[in-house]
Structure formats: structure tokens, C-alpha cells
Structure 1
């Protein structure tokens, strides 16, 4: 059928409406019921969608000619206020994290056990089939659902399986036919994930065994898998399934886009900074840790790859919000800037010393980029490790802790008393000043500090496993696995804190001394 051109009363944009594409391995479009097609589509703003309307597509960005981006599966709209999520779904959490508010966004359909909420900007153009028109056709669920596609890796798959729920995880099982199960068992030993596994069929029963000679993760037992009442096999739990790499929700040929994207206002900080710095010929690299994200800029822009932060000058840039929606301070570049955000730029000299370059409100990105450009062309002198830097640095303590979530600073008494007398005198004077400044506040009488290390179960010795009540066991067929507290199947990747002797000697009433290398010698 030919394409159609639709318009909105309050817009000069032209919306090109196309027929729904057929499903492929890369674009998993579920067909509409018999008789439904794009000749029935109407274009409205998201806040004009009514209960019972069928949402079929969104559109490419404007202005001008805007092409159809079909949703993978059309759905019946049940609009509600954004923020009233019944399932605390990932889509709502992401939208909140990106600064979505109830006055700017709407929910077109609430989450269930299969899909998240559909969140979109209230003025987003949406292609719908109006409820009174849709009532003349069979319900949406009369169109056969498409099977899910999963893979062992980029080279082995896809394997068709029944659709999975929204809470499904990569180590959960998928339900496949006998033919598909046989193909999986043929491919599995050829993959990295299945290098320690062997597969055997005993009539209609599948045995997946873990070879202890090849296994690198001692806690993964084998599986005995029998067909269910429908003759299907639920396979999983021994390796992480990958959703088929070809399933792209934002392909270039006009399929489903992210409906929460709102032109320039919702451009992430990373994208905005990358563009602003590119105008100065500067490249930034993203890094992350403990839920935080930031960008790193090398002073030497002629070097390729991620900057060497342990040896060369660099700058770190991120959005900072002292109190985000969850009450915790936020360091990020993965959402759009919002009210209360500030750009923070720190510069490091490659020896472990960092200082603040600028702190600017979120709407002053051009000035922030200009400050970085000035730093790149005129780098600060690298201080000697023992040098006392002149001037006052804002938030020096927070900067010292870096991007960690540490709430306390622990230093061995032996090392403190080993420093030169002049240094000890300055240090004690500052401690006394700190005690005096906050003596009016209630504080804990004591803290119990325990030396030790974090260690994954797979790296523990037998004695270390015993100390956290983990032991080895085996199934009836001899397959070994790990068990904790005599009942809990233990993941070998989980980390536990193991107490160990402090490698720093006891202070011995002030007598112990360790030679410090205050001049930077090793």
C-alpha cells in the first residue's frame, strides 16, 4: 500500500506513515490483526492518546519530514500520570534518572510481568488507531506472538524460544523445542561459555554435565532436563544467555525509537560534552565505577586511546548533584542536565594529585569547555610529590576521596608516627582543630577497624571457604558444586570479606618506625 502523509494542526511537520514491516531476525515486528493497516493510522500528541487507542508507531525527529518508527509490538493504550508505576520498572527508574517530571511526561501503558511502562514526552507525536476504529477489528492478541531469539554468543544462534517475562535474567531458563534443544547441545561445547560442559541425550532426557577437568568456576553443577507437558525443554542456569545481537530497538530504517527522547532537552551530558569539546578539537573518554560515570580528557590530545591517568596530565568532567532523587549525591554523564546540576572539572598531574579547575552551573557548558580548552593549551606545572601547593582548593577533602563511596579514612598509627616531626606537628595541629570545631556534635565513642581483603569464592583456599561456612559438595552423578550454610547454592563469583593479619607492624607504644619515602623514592 502507498505511504500516507499526515499533519498535526499545531505543526508544519509532515508525518510519513508507512505500512507495518514484516518481521525479520533483526527487527521483530509483531503483525497487526487481520484488516488493521496504516490506512487507519491517525497522528496525535502523546497527551491526546485516550484509553483503548492502539499505539502503533512514533516518528523520527523533526522539524520537516518525519518518518514512521514502528513499535515492535502495537499495544492498547491505558494512559496515566507519569510516576504512578505499579511495578517500579526499569523504564520509570531510567526516566526519573534522566530528569523526567510529571508535568512533561506521560505513561501510555503501565508495566506488567512482560514489559516495562511506556514513558514518553507529552508532546511527542504518536501514530494510533483510535479506539472506536479498533473496536471493529479482532483484538491485538489474536495476532500470533513472535518467539524470542537468544544466543550463546555472536556466532552461535539465534535459537527460538517462548517469550520471557520482564523479570527474566540471562541465567534463567528459556523454553525451546526438541529440535532447538538439539541444536543448542551441538553448538554449546564450541563456545567459551560451554567449554567445560558436555551434553548427552538419554531417550527424551537431556543431561548437561560439568567436566571438572575443564571447569574454571567450581560452583556450577550440571542439569538433568526433561520435557514438559508440551514437549518443550527449559534450558539455562549454567551460562548467561544473550539476546540475539540483531534485535535492535533503534535501527536506522525506521523501527521503534526511544519515546522518552525529547529533542535537545534530553540529550545526555556525555553527548553534550562530546559535541562541545569536539568544537575545540578535544576528545573525551567515558569511564565509570560504583554506579558513577564521568569523562576523562588527556592533556596530550595527539595520543590515541584512553588517557594514562597514572603517568600523564588529565582532566575529569562530570555532572554533580548533591542530592539526587534517591537522596544520594550523584556523579554522572549518562542523563540530561537538570536543575540543581553543576559541571565539575578536576585536573590531575599524573602523580595522584588532583585539583579543581572549574565548577559551573549546568547551563554554562560552553564556558566549561572553554576552560578545558585553555587547560589543554596551557597545562599547569606538575608539582613535586612532597610540595605544599599554594592557595586554597575548594572541596579538597571530597576531591581526595575521589569517586569512591568511602565514608571514613583509615590510616595505620605506625605509619603516622613514622613521618618527620615537622609533618607530625602539622598533622596533630589539624586534628586538634578538627576536634575543636565539632566537639559540640554527638559522635561515636569508638570504631572497630578490621584488616582484611575482599575475595571471590572461586579464588579462596579451602580454609578461607571454611571461614565463611562454604564447602564443596557433589551431585549424585559426581558433579561438584559449592554450598553455603548447608543449604544455599553458592555463586563462585560472589565476594566475601576475609579477615587477615595487618601487614603494617604494631605501633608498639610509639617505638615502631617505618622509613618513609617522602621524596618520592621507591
Structure 2
């Protein structure tokens, strides 16, 4: 995602409806499923949809490797552009179409072949079905671990792609931070009270959190609102991460360590990982 601001404008249809994901395959094939954002409320087979760079790469690979003799190919160019080129085998008149990624690194692809919605597809492999389920259920609790071992990876990929193409705007902060912390092998624990919620990350990561001992406290606030939360989406609101240090001794004492824009989730996770790796005396 290309964004340097603290807020992101939620993409909308001209009538004001927010974009929502759909799964596609190329008509008459077993390709995909591809996670995309329909650009039109009323979709036709040749309608264009928006795809992330990762999904666009899958589309191009399928086109070049599986349909190598159809007369249509896709090639990546300077600046991340994508050019489709065809000859007389594909259409009566040779031609080309270049797609330039937008500010979110999305690619608008359509009009070159008919799209089918994945729900109409009945020859899916177990891996394709797992990918589709991960994408379609991306707003629900993460069900990766409930999948059979061979299907965990495609399920997680589908879920991640759905979050990526929606710019993570519908993801809860605790989901985003847990995902970033997992890269460092760290666990966090949800806590809440009186309508507020936060995450606790214990310095001792060798045991399950029991509320005792030194830990870090992380939560999000929206500008102009005193409430703290990690269990609802931020959306396009201006928000900030807050990182405190606390001790589980029943006093509730905490000291502020950092405040950072919400868009810096990965950096916040790196700071947390660095703090947990640093032996120190913890004094409030």
C-alpha cells in the first residue's frame, strides 16, 4: 500500500457505497480465485475490477504460463506498470493495453476477457477452496489453525489478500498488531473494561499471561475521543497507537513510552520487540 498520511480515504462507488471484495476467475477456466474490488455495483463479464500487485502477478503468471499460446501476454514495465499485448490469434486486430497502478498500488484489469464470479465455479481444488474461504471470512476470527495442515497456507493467504485489497481498513487494531508481532515471535493478550480495550504484551514470553509481572500495554485512540480500543476498526479516522509500560501488581500503574500514528503498526511492533529483548530493571 502506498500511503504516507495518517489517514486513508475509503474508496467508494459513485453512489457512495463502499467497495467490498469479490472472488473472480477467468471465464471458462479453473484459474484463481482472484480477490478483487468490483468497480461497479452492477457487474458484467467484461467489467474492470481492482486487484493488488500480488494478485495482478498471479493473473499475469496464469496468462503467460497456462495460456501461453492464446496470443495474449502480460508484461511488467518501468514504474510497476502492466502491459497486456495481443496478436491476431486473440483478436482480429493486434493491440495492447497498459495499466498504471493507482496510489494504493491497485491495478484496474478488465475488458480483455470475461470474468466469472468464483461462486459459480464448481471444479475447485481443496487449496483453491481454502484460499476462497480465507478471503470470504476475512472479517471473522482467524480460522487458519482450524484448517488441515496442507490448507493452512492457502487459507491464510486468502485472508491476508482480502485484508490487503481493502487496505486493512476493516481490520481491528489487535488483529493488525498481533500479525505484526507474530513476525517477531511475540504474543499479546486482549484485555477490556468499561467499554475500553487494550493489549498486554508480557516481558516474559515463555509462559501464558496470567496478569502478573511486567508488561507493555498497547491501545489506540481516535483524535478527539478519550476512549481506548483495539477491538473495532479504525477505518479512515485519524488515530494513534499508545505504548505504555505497566506492572501486574494490582495498582494499575503505567508509564507512557510512545505515541505513534496508527499507520506505523509494523514500526510499533519492532519497538515492542526491541524492548522485550532488552534486559533491564523495571521501575515506575
Same fold (TM over 0.5): no
TM class, shorter-length: 0.3 to 0.5
Higher relative contact order (CA 8 A, sep 6+): 2
TM-score (norm 2): 0.44
The structure richer in helix per residue is 2
TM-score (norm 1): 0.26
